[in-house]
Structures are given as structure tokens and as C-alpha cells.
Amino acid sequence: MVVKENKPNKTNIFEGFDAKQQADLEKVVSEYDVLFQEPKGLPPKKGIVHDINLQQDAPSIYVFFSPYSCL
């Protein structure tokens, strides 16, 4: 007995693209299928912990950003 995995139809995923674009997208997705899989858990823990140590009772800072300040 052969059991097939129930995968979504790729043509439905690329709906709205023309035939050439669908073919190109299907080729890329099948070539890099490992990258497009659903995650199977949490990523591994990192060996480095990044912290920002704040000073006790330090006042809050005000950061003003103007999109025109760089001109």
C-alpha cells in the first residue's frame, strides 16, 4: 500500500501569474524545496546572548527622527 503525502497544488499557489511565470516559480520552488518547507520546531539556541544593560534609575531618552534631517 502506497500512501501519498497530501501536498497543496502548486498551480493554486501561483494563481494570477501567466503560464511562463508559473513554470518559472514552480522550478525555483522545486529546486529550493528545503527552504520553502514549514518549520518543524524552534530554531536551535545560540551560543551568544545579546543583552543591553541599562543603568538603574537612568532617565528616559527622547529620540526625534525627521525624514528631512539627512538632507
Question: Over the stretch 26-50, which tens digit does the pLDDT of each residue have?
Answer: 999 899 988 888 888 998 888 888 8
55 vs 64, residue with greater confidence: 55
List the domain range (segments joined by +) for residue 19: 1-38
| Cell 498551480 -> residue | 11
Residue 46 belongs to some domain of the structure: no
pLDDT of res. 11: 45
The residue among 17 and 68 whose pLDDT is bigger is 17
High-pLDDT (> 70) share of the chain, %: 76
Determine the average pLDDT of the residues in 8-26: 80
Confirm if 17 and 9 have CB atoms less than 8 A apart.
Answer: no
C-alpha cell at 7: 501536498
The grid cell for 22 is 508559473
Residue 1 inside a domain? The answer is yes
User: Per the domain annotation, does 19 fall within a domain?
Assistant: yes
Classify residue 50: in a domain, yes or no: no
